[in-house]
Amino acid sequence: MNNNKFGIKNLTKGKLPRLPFKRAKELILGKDYDLSLVFTDNNLTKKLNKIYRDKDKPANVLSFALENYAGEIFINLTQAKTNAKLVLLLIHALLHLKGWQHSSKMESEERKFLSLIFHYVPPNLKRYRHRQSPNESNDHRNNRRRSFTAYYRYRRG
């Protein structure tokens, strides 16, 4: 990672919206956290979701804790239809990197941070719930295997 402790990579063909990605990162994780933010599409998130979570479908967002103060987030731009949804996915992933697990408390924290970043919560933003059986874990933040980017860098030499 670079000395800025924050890097963005766009693997899609489109332009990224100008949103406060760095502000969200610093608000939730602090300035010293080393974060790589990757914007991608259904193909890559499906591949990563299969490798790391054994789910054969595209993910909207994936977060990987690489070390105590370093992580990587993949956001699927195909599934983030609005700027508010995009920032909400980022906040969700940042909270995972901070150690939060899916719960109603996490949802309220997401909405709180969304209102701090946007200064309001858009009324048309649907509240989403994380549905899973009691024995199923969707919590992938502690997965210490190499992320796709780290694996790609390793393979290239």
Q: What are phi and psi of 143, to 5 degrees?
A: -70, 115
The answer to whether the pTM exceeds 0.85 is no
pLDDT digits (tens, 9 = 90+) for 85-134: 899 999 999 999 999 888 889 888 888 888 888 765 666 555 554 444 44
pLDDT digits (tens, 9 = 90+) for 27-50: 999 999 999 999 999 999 999 999
Element (H, E) at 118: helix 104-118
Domain 6-119 grouped into CATH 3.90.1640.10: no
Residue entry with tokens 């700027």 = 83
Q: What angle do CA 75, 85, 140 make, to 5 degrees?
A: 40
Q: What are phi and psi of 78, to 5 degrees?
A: -65, -35
Round to whole Å and give the CA distance between 57 and 62: 12
Q: Where are the domains of the chain?
A: 6-119
Return the pLDDT at 127: 52
